[in-house]
Structure 1
Amino acid sequence: MKNLIGLCGYLLLHTICYAQSFYSTNLPIVVIETEGRTIVDEPKTTVKMKIIYNGPDKITSLTDAPNIYDGFAGIEFRGSSSQLFPKKSYGFELRDAQGENKEVSLFGMPKNEDWILFASYNEKSLIHNVLAMKMATDMGIYASRTQYVEVVVNGRYEGIYVLMEKIKRSNGRLGITKMSTSDNVGDALTGGYIFKIDKTTGTGGSAGWYSKISPLKAPLGQRTLYLYEYPKFDEITSQQRFYLQNYVDMAEATLNGSTFRDSVNGYQRYFDPLSFAQMFIINETTKNVDGYRISTFFHKERDSKKGRIKAGPAWDYDLAFANADYCQGQEYYGWAYLFGDACPTDLWQVPFQWKRMLEDPSFVTAVYNEYRRMRAGPWKTERLNAYIDSLSAVLQQSQARNFQRWPVLGVPLWPNPRPVPGTWMGEVNELKNWLTNRLAWLDASMPGTLTGIEPGTVPAETMVEIAPNPFSEKARLVLKTPGPMEIRTEVFDINGRLLDTKLHFLEHSETEIFLPVTGPTGTYILRVHTPKEVIQKKMLKR
């Protein structure tokens, strides 16, 4: 006890005496001192900041000298609905003694002044965003690098945070061309830009424009709102605003037009299909309930650098991986891009682009090939579960302190589905189990799965969707064909026994068929024979 009192007395000399016993950790420590000033949503408050870390497999103590950063920062609360939680997320920029921005490399990440401390309050595994960023990076697209830390603010232990790179135009982050206020004509006007679909709250100020095309569902005549991200709304010139809005309008009009599949003058003239396929896959694999419609970024490089609209970077996955009890967010089956089917009156709806691109066989092939590439490598189920295990091992010691500070385990918080696991390891295991089931459903349901045809060589002429999947007594098939044709359906059990076969004549380009499936709950195999291909999918009866 004498030693603890002595340590607290030592720390008091530095205006730090901790309400919770926290002296050492295997994680880095971030110490923030406001010197009497109050942190608010905006503007940023000047604080002193120290970051201490002795390296992997070593213990870092509060009394160790700061060796990652020791200086000033401007800090503010960040987030939209998450600002209602008692554990706040922060955005901060590193500064010198004169208050000027200061670029610093933290934990080996590229130098920058802008960073984020993500709180992970209602996401109790503490893993969702770190896992999603890793999955996006595995795919080869830029996503924020991450580092777990423990945070102390004004002498009070605040728990585990994820230090993340803020999305911005920068070497080492999103490396598009830097723009200035003089870039108002010619090629310089064409890029690079970052824009997004998002709520206007929690953005630190925003402005933008509305799409001319309605989203998939449009309650009260809603239109998709695009916000300027780079150049910032208070820095972008009128010429740049007009150019970006006009370019997006032309791109969307082309995608919405009757000749959108044209290889020269169609939507691929304006959009980069691979990036949209990749973002489709990451949003669907995580079943991000905010995907496509909130916290969704796009960027465009200059025309001289073959600049088209690209989807990404990936961002904001705390309500993914079944951490949402609304709009079927907790189910391992179903499509995130069809959010509006479950919640048609929600004010933030998925824009039309994703569903429209899925009407292009070449885009479906790109989605299938990219998903197959990931599932054959870094997204193998056992590899993803092993990565989750590695994160939980890193957090094993510190998570107990975090949940002592914030006793939320077993407590339903918005929007946690119920029942809520009563332990942290229960949260981790629930994540692994859900992801395993989600991947199995996507393996069976991902559009473009073909039998007897090498994917990528012959586009599928017929699209088959099973919705819902799982189903109850009858499987509902939606078939899209290039014209009238005769097809044959076959249903097999998991052991390969043929249970049902029927001939169907399809008179229209889109036809709905119901197939009764007798037998117990479980997995069945559907084969659809057309004049040119055989399409195979898994069906799940519940």
Structure 2
Amino acid sequence: MINPISFFLQKYSTEIGKIFELNFSGASSKKGQLKNHLIILFLLFFVSSAAQDTLTTSNLPIVIINTNGQEIPDEPKIDVDMGIIYNGPGELNHINDPFNEYEGMVGIEIRGSTSQCFPKKSYGFETRDSLGNDLNVSLLGLPEESDFVLYAPYSDKSCIRNVLAYKLSESTGHYAPRTRYCELMINGVYMGIYVLIEKVKRDENRVDIPKMTEADTTGDNVTGGYIIQVGKYDVLGWGSPYNPATYYQCYYPKESQEQQLNYIHEWMDTFENTMKNLEVPDTSFYSIIDKTSFIDYILVNEISKNPDAYRKSTFLTKERDSNGGKLAAGPVWDYNLAFGNDHDFNSFVPENWIITDTIYYSRPHWWDQMFMHPVFYAEIKERWNYLRQGPFHIDAINGIIDSCATILEEPQQRNFLKWDILGVYIWPNVFVGETYEEEIDYLKSWTADRINWMDSLFYVSTPIYEEVNFQIRVYPNPFSEKLNLQISLPGASQIHFQIFSFSGQEIYSNSFQYQISRNANFDIPLNASELPAGIYFYSCTLSTGEVYGGKLIKSN
């Protein structure tokens, strides 16, 4: 192993050697060549020394990249040298320590879309062998793979939002990209705090779906597994037949065969048709989706009020039919604008749902239909109440924030010396803290306000709606002023009837006694004329504990 300065200088051995290869046949130019070459040597020494002055010791792993004089492009990846210093948990890492975690070639490129406008760039890289082939390695304790991201927190001055969202998703029992904090040096220049993140990829330790090859074009093999990305325009994709305009990309397999692309396109069209024609209380779509994954995905996006949710950086997976064949939501990705960090539209306001907000364009129609379905909505509420007792408890969330802030306590000082943006508006900040501590306090307080608002709607654990052997009709539907309830049951003694707004707020509640010997009609004493036009839900709870529900439409 060699130390980073030796590593850096070694890569410039050719240039350094030229310093001493003076052309004595041209005596008149000898002095000039010597002067120029000494300047080069001085600059090389200065860059290496400056690196030590900026970053000498860190409690975080130190990642050092030497591009060998190349500029890192947007694409394609270029071959560069990378080394990582990591002496283990609780140990300090020194800039002169040997590379003991990784030393070798990587292919690297700038990544991101809007974030590319920031001076602090994010990078995607893959570890490679000496021939340039992918090389699976374990970096900082992550499972062996070759594709990673070096994410650059910039507008998120807490440097925590992505890590927090991924940990919340992971706590619900689903795969989320694993993360490791580090500090980055490129060509001897300190670049600040970065987050090493697993790239979304099919792998038994990442997105664990069946591997597909070019030969998987028929039978069960062509049915999965697929990774679909929403909102990413690419030649390997298709547009939704429904409004709003949505584009689906076949993210995996990357080099899809025509039969594979046709299959997943047709499957998604069938799924969209099913959702578009869904009528309450029909829950037949449960047979084609991984229900829990969708519920948990919605809750992570709503607790963070992610403005990109459901329409950008959104991944879905389709299992092989022999493994159930269901569509699942996730993994989660890209939350730097979440948790109150985006001033656009209303995403910084702790109230209101993202999933039904009409401001956010190009969200696939079926998200709204899932969320509006009373059966599905009731299960979301029940899951929320369960998670609030554990990983979504405010103490658990603050624990994640505090643990990250503690790890970053010393590195953040260097980061904001490099990037002097504390107290400075960076698009699209809502809150601009004068100190790092103020940024952390804002993240905590905003998250607490968001949770309190969601609690106000999910205030009790709602029983799951089930189909039961009785007839119920709430009419007229649509209604404008008056509602009637008609019931015909084989047996029950009391009915508890409730009406909820679309946001889940109870606006009417009453109990009715019912005689088994006859059908019953009840007038609902509700001044419906005062209700705004829109969608409402009703639930009818029997004395046996069974629950039935449906959708109501209030007209003008």
| TM-score (ref. length: structure 2) | 0.78
Provide structure 2 residue ranges, at least 5 long, that are not aligned to the other structure.
11-43, 468-495, 510-520, 548-556
2:241 maps to 1:208: no
State the alpha-carbon separation in 1 of the partners of residues 294 and 328 from structure 2: 7
Q: Which amino acid aligns with 1:313?
A: P
CA shift for structure 1 position 70: 0.5
Distance (Å, rounded) in 2 between the aligned partners of 1:414 and 1:123: 10
Write the distance in 2 (CA, Å) between the matches of 1:176 and 1:281: 23
* TM-aligned CA deviation for residue 353 of structure 1: 1.3
Distance 1:13 1:261 in 2: 70
Structure 2 partner of 1:53: 86
The answer to whether structure 1 residue 300 and structure 2 residue 318 are counterparts is yes
Aligned to 1:388: 401
Judge conservation of contact 2:499–2:539 (CA < 8 Å) in 1. Answer: no
The correspondence for 1:441, drawn from 438, 450, 453, is: 453
Contact 2:231 2:246 in 1 (8 A): no
- 1:218 alignment partner in structure 2: none
Q: Which residue of 2 aligns with 1:118?
A: 151
Superposition deviation, residue 34 in structure 1: 0.4
- 2:356 pairs with one of 338, 362, 369: 338
Asked whether the 8 Å contact 1:210–1:225 carries over to 2, the reply is yes
In the other structure, the counterpart of 1:237 is 257
* Structure 1 gap ranges (5+): 1-6, 216-222, 470-475, 488-502, 515-527, 536-542
Q: Which of 127, 134, 143 matches 1:94? A: 127
Separation (CA, whole Å) in 2 of partners of 1:300 and 1:461: 39
What amino acid sits opposite 1:319 in the alignment?
Answer: L
Query: Any idea what the Cα deviations from partners look like across 1:426-484, whole Å, max 9, x if unmatched?
Result: 101100000111111101123xx557xx6337699855137699xxxxxx9699xxxx9
CA 1:246 to 1:21, structure 2 compared with 1: closer, same or farther past 3 Å? same
After superposition, the Cα gap between the structure-2 partners of 1:467 and 1:274, relative to the gap in structure 1 and judged at 3 Å, is: closer
Give 1:329 deviation, angstroms. Answer: 1.1
Check conservation: 1:339, 1:350, Cα contact below 8 A.
Answer: no
Q: How does 1:30-69 map to 2 (within 5 A)?
A: 30-69=63-102
Distance 1:406 1:295, change over 3 A: same
Amino acid across the alignment from 1:404: L
Q: Is the 8 A contact 1:8 1:17 kept in 2?
A: no
Distance apart, 1:259 and its partner CA: 4.3
Deviations 1:178-225 (A, max 9, x none): 00011000000000000111344xxxx65310011113xxxxxxx111
| Residue of structure 1 in register with 2:142 after alignment | 109
The 1:531/1:172 distance shift into structure 2, 3 A limit, reads closer
Q: Does 1:273 align with 2:295?
A: no
| Code of the aligned partner of 1:367 | I
Cα gap change, 1:9/1:256 in structure 2, threshold over 3 Å: closer, same or farther? Answer: closer
Contact preservation (8 Å) 2:84, 2:100: yes
SS of 1:338's partner is coil
Given that 1:94 and 1:104 are in contact with CA atoms closer than 8 Å, whether structure 2 keeps it comes out as: yes
Pairwise mapping of residues 74-223 of structure 1 onto structure 2 (< 5 A)?
Answer: 74-200=107-233, 207-215=236-244, 223=245
Q: Is the 8 A contact 1:52 1:68 kept in 2?
A: yes
Q: What residue is the counterpart of 2:463 in the other structure?
A: 455
The answer (yes or no) to whether the contact 1:168–1:174 under 8 Å persists in 2 is yes
- The one-character-per-residue Cα deviations of 1:376-405 (angstroms, maximum 9, x if unpaired) are 112111121122111101000000000111
Alignment counterpart, residue 501 of structure 2, candidates 454, 465, 470: 465
8 Å CA contact 2:275, 2:285 repeated in 1: yes
For residues 461 and 56 of structure 1, do their structure 2 counterparts lie closer, same or farther at Cα, with a shift above 3 Å needed? farther
CA RMSD of aligned residues (A): 3.0
Question: Structure 1 residues 457 and 97, CA, compared in 2 at 3 Å: closer, same or farther?
Answer: same
Q: The residue matched to 2:183 in structure 1 has which SS?
A: strand
TM-aligned CA distance change 1:309 to 1:260, over 3 Å: farther
d(CA) in 2 for partners of 1:258 and 1:532?
25
Letter in 2 for 1:214: N
* C-alpha distance 504-531 of structure 1, shift in aligned 2 (>3 A): farther
What residue in structure 1 maps to residue 37 of structure 2? none
Q: Are residues 1:428 and 2:455 paired?
A: no
For residues 289 and 499 of structure 2, the distance between their equivalents in structure 1, rounded to whole angstroms, comes to: 22
Q: Residue deviations 1:206-248, cap 9 Å, x none? A: 5310011113xxxxxxx1111111011xx10110111000000
Quickly say closer, same or farther: Cα 1:24–1:277, change in 2 above 3 A.
same
Contact 1:477 1:512 in 2 (8 A): no
Aligned letter for 2:322? S
| 1:504 alignment partner in structure 2 | 526
Q: Determine if the alignment matches structure 1 residue 362 to structure 2 residue 394.
A: no
Q: Cα–Cα, structure 1 residues 368 and 17, in superposed 2: closer, same or farther, change >3 Å?
A: same
Tell me the distance in 2 between the aligned counterparts of 1:184 and 1:9. Answer: 52
Shift of 1:8: 11
Letter in 1 for 2:179: T
Q: CA distance change for structure 1 residues 270 and 457 in 2, over 3 Å: closer, same or farther?
A: closer
Match of 1:411 among 396, 421, 424: 424
Match of 2:50 in 1: 18
Give the Å deviation of 1:339: 3.1
CA contact (8 A) 2:222 2:260 kept: yes
Spell out, residue by residue over 1:21-80, the C-alpha distance to the aligned partner (whole angstroms, 9 max, x if none).
211100000000000111111000100000111122211011111111110000001111
Query: SS where residue 103 of structure 2 aligns?
Result: strand
Q: 1:9 to 1:101 in 2, by over 3 A?
A: closer
Mapped contact 1:50–1:71 kept (Cα < 8 A): yes
Displacement, 1:366? 2.1
Aligned: 1:350 with 2:363? yes
The 1:31/1:410 distance shift into structure 2, 3 A limit, reads same
Superposition TM-score, scaled by structure 1 size: 0.80
Aligned residues: 465
Rounded Cα–Cα distance in structure 1 between residues aligned with 2:370 and 2:522: 24
Q: Percent identity?
A: 39
Give the partner amino acid of 2:463.
P
- Residue 305 of structure 2 corresponds to which residue in structure 1? 287
1:500 counterpart residue number: none
Q: What is the identity, as a one-letter code, of the residue corresponding to 2:395?
A: E
More displaced, 10-19 or 74-83?
10-19
1:400 has 2:413 as partner: yes
Secondary structure of 1:241's counterpart equals helix
1:250-295 residue CA offsets vs partner (Å, 9 max, x unmatched)? 01101111447535xx322322222111111010000001111110
**Is the CA contact (8 Å cut-off) linking 2:4 and 2:95 kept in structure 1?**
no
Question: Equivalent residue of 1:339, what SS?
Answer: coil
Counterpart check, 1:328 vs 2:350:
no
Aligned pair in 2 of structure 1 residues 188, 409: CA closer, same or farther (>3 Å)?
A: same
2: CA distance between counterparts of 1:151 and 1:212? Answer: 45
> Helix, strand or coil for the counterpart of 1:310?
strand
Change over 3 Å in CA distance of 1:486–1:90 after alignment to 2: farther
Report if aligned partners of 1:261, 1:267 keep a CA contact under 8 Å in 2.
no
Counterpart of 2:355 in structure 1: which amino acid? Answer: Y
Contact 2:202 2:211 in 1 (8 A): yes
Equivalent residue letter for 1:238: E
Residues 260/40 of structure 1: CA separation in 2 closer, same or farther (3 Å cut): farther
Q: Secondary structure in 1 aligned to 2:388?
A: helix
Larger Rg belongs to: 2
| Residue 125 (structure 1) shift | 0.3
Structure 1 position 146, deviation (Å): 0.4
Contact 2:422 2:434 in 1 (8 A): yes
